[in-house]
Chains A and B, each alone.
Chain A
C-alpha cells in the first residue's frame, strides 16, 4: 500500500517578477515500510517535496495524498493534528528543546501534542531511548550531547508517538561521515523494529546507498525512481 502519493505535483514560488518551479509536475509513490531517500543537488526540490509530504505546505498544482488523506484542503489546526498523529520529524539541526532533558524532549510529543495519559509516558519513552541507544543519557541536556547523540534523541522523539511515517530533511548534513552512516543505520533499524516508513533527503552519495528506494530530483523534476509517474513515462 502507498503511504505517499504525488499526482502531477508542482510547486512554484514567486521571486519578485519570476516564478521559480521548486517542483515541476512530479508524480511518485512511496510504499509503506519503505526506507526511502530523496536525492539531488542543493536546490533540486528535496525540502519542498518533504514539506508537502509533511503537511507543512500546499502544492500549487496536483494532488498529494499522505496516509490516505489529501493534504490540500486541510486547515492549520487540522494539519497540525494530522502531523502530530501520523508523522514524525527529524531535522538537519536536530532542533531539540534546550530547556528540556533528553527524557523530556522525547516525552514532549506524548505530553504536549498527543495528550497521552501520564502513566503511559515512561514505558514509551524508555523503550524508544533504549532503541536509539540513549537510555543512559536520559537526564542530560542537549547542550551536553554530541551531534550524533542529539540526532539519536531526535529520532527517538520522532518515533515515540508511533507515527506511520518519519520525515528527515538532510538528517546527516551536520554530522561527520562515520556518525552520519550510523544515524542512517539507526533509522533503518528503527524501521525494522517499529515498522515505520522513513523518507529522508540527502545530497551525500554515500548516504543514499543505504536507502532501499531512491528518488532523484533535479531542478524540481523527478529524473529517476522506481515509480516515476505517468507524465514522466509519456515524456
Chain B
C-alpha cells in the first residue's frame, strides 16, 4: 500500500503547477469551512448565551395556554399557589435542574407625573431571578446600589423607555395596573436602575419585586405567570427538558387536561431561527467545499489519466493488475486531498488563532450590544472537514481510475 502511495505522490508532483493550484483551491475551501465554523460557532454561542443568560433562562413552564396569548400578558392564565407548589416540588426533584424563578408578568401604565406610557414588567424574586439569568445584573445601568438588584418599593425600568420619559435613577414614578377582574390599582415606586435593552422577547421589560407585583395586582393569593428554569449543564438541556416534560404531563386539572406547558429557549425566541440559519449556512459552505473538491479532483484526475494513456498501457502490458492500476490513481486523488486538507486545516486554525489574538467584535441588535467573539472550532469539526475532503477526493478519483484500469493495453500503447 505504501509503495502505491509513494508512486502516486511522485506522479502527482510531475505536474507541479497544476497540483499546486488544485491543492490550493481545496485548501482555501477547508480554510473557509474552518474559519466560518469557528466564527459562526462563537457568534451562535454568544447570542444563545445572551438570550438564555440574560432574559429567558434555559426553559420556562407556564399554565397550559399561557404562551398562546403571551403578548397580552394574560392574568387569567396564571398558576395558582397549589399548582406552583406542585411545580416547585417537581423542579426540586428533577435531576439536572440548577435553579428556578417564578415571575409575575404584567402590563402597567407608567407615569412620571407629566407623561404616561405603557410598560411591561416582571415581578421577580431578585435572588431567584439572578440564579436563572446570571447576566441580568450586568444589564443594569445607573444602579443606585451596585450590590442589590432590587428591593421592595423599587423598580428597574427599560432604558429606552426611561430615556424617552426623561426618568432617571432616583426618580419616583407611579405604576397603575388593572387586575384580572378589571379593577385598577396604583402604587409609587423608586427607580433604582435602568435595564439595558436586548433583542428578542422580554428584552425590553422592566423589573419589580414579585411581592409588589402581587399587591399591585391585588392578588388575594399570589399567582405565577411563568417559571424560568436553568439547567445545570446547557448541553444536557434536551434531556432535562424531557424528564421535566414527562413529570409535568402526569399533572392534570379537573377536566383531565394537562396543567402545565413547557418550552425550551429555542421555542421561545425568534432568534433561534438565526441560529438555525447559521447552521444552514455552515452546511451550505460544506456543500460548496464538496463541490469544489469533487470538480477539481475529478478534473485533475481525468487529465492525469488522459495524459498518461501510453504509460498506463505500458504498466498494463508489463503485467500490472487492473486493480493495482486503479489503486495507483485513487491513491493519487487521495494524496492530493490529504495534503490539501492538512495544509488547509493548518492555515484555518492559524487564521482562527490570529483572530483570537486581534479579537473580533460583532454588533448585533443595536450598537449597545457588541459581542466579543472568541472563535474556536471543535477538533471534530476540523477532522470532519478533512474527512469530507478525503472522502470526496477518493470518490472523484474512482471514475478516472476505473477508466485507467479498463484501458486495453494494446490500444493504450498505440495512443499518441
Contact = CB atoms under 8 A, between A and B. Distances in A.
Contacts of B323: 77
A51 interface: yes
Interface stretch (A36-44, A82-90, A132-140): A82-90
Interface residues of A, number: 28
B310 interface: yes
A80 B320 contact: yes
A74 to B, nearest CB: 12
- The majority secondary structure among interface residues of chain B is helix
Interface in A17-74: 51, 54, 56-57
B314 interface: yes
A87 to B, nearest CB: 7
A99 B328 CA distance: 14
Given A99-B14, A111-B3, A77 B410 contact: no
Contacts of A95: 310-311, 314, 413
B82 interface: no
Contact of B321 (A51, A77, A108): A77
Given A56-B410, A99-B14, A80 B314 contact: no
A113 B318 contact: yes
A175 interface: no
Interface in B303-330: 310-311, 314-324
Contacts of B4: 112
A98 B308 CA distance: 11
B10 interface: yes
Contacts of B38: none
B409 interface: yes
B11 A99 contact: yes
B15 to A, nearest CB: 11
B318 A51 contact: no
Interface in A189-220: none
Contacts of A157: 318
- Residue among A57, A82, A83 with the most chain B CB within 10 A? A83
B280 to A, nearest CB: 45
Contact of B319 (A98, A111, A113): A113
Contacts of B372: none
B7 interface: yes
A80 B316 contact: yes
A112 B322 contact: no
Nearest to A87: B319
Contacts of B14: 98-99
Contact of B318 (A77, A83, A98, A99): A83
Contact of B311 (A54, A87, A97): A97
A77 B413 CA distance: 18
B319 to A, nearest CB: 2
Given A91-B413, A112-B324, A83 B317 contact: yes
Contacts of B321: 77, 80-81, 84, 113
A101 to B, nearest CB: 10
Contacts of B314: 89, 91, 95, 97
Nearest to A76: B322
A57 B410 contact: yes
Contacts of A77: 321-323
B311 A83 contact: no
Contacts of A171: none
A119 B297 CA distance: 36
Contacts of B311: 95, 97
Nearest to B410: A56
A8 B228 CA distance: 96
Contact of B320 (A54, A88, A100, A113): A113
> Which 6 pairs from chain A and chain B are nearest by CB?
A84-B319, A83-B319, A99-B10, A95-B314, A113-B319, A56-B410
14 contacts: A56-B410, A81-B321, A84-B318, A84-B319, A87-B319, A89-B318, A95-B413, A99-B7, A100-B7, A100-B10, A109-B318, A112-B4, A112-B7, A113-B318
Interface of A: 51, 54, 56-57, 76-77, 80-85, 87-89, 91, 93, 95, 97-100, 108-109, 111-113, 157
Given A56-B410, A84-B321, 7 more contacts: A80-B320, A83-B317, A83-B319, A88-B318, A95-B310, A98-B14, A112-B3
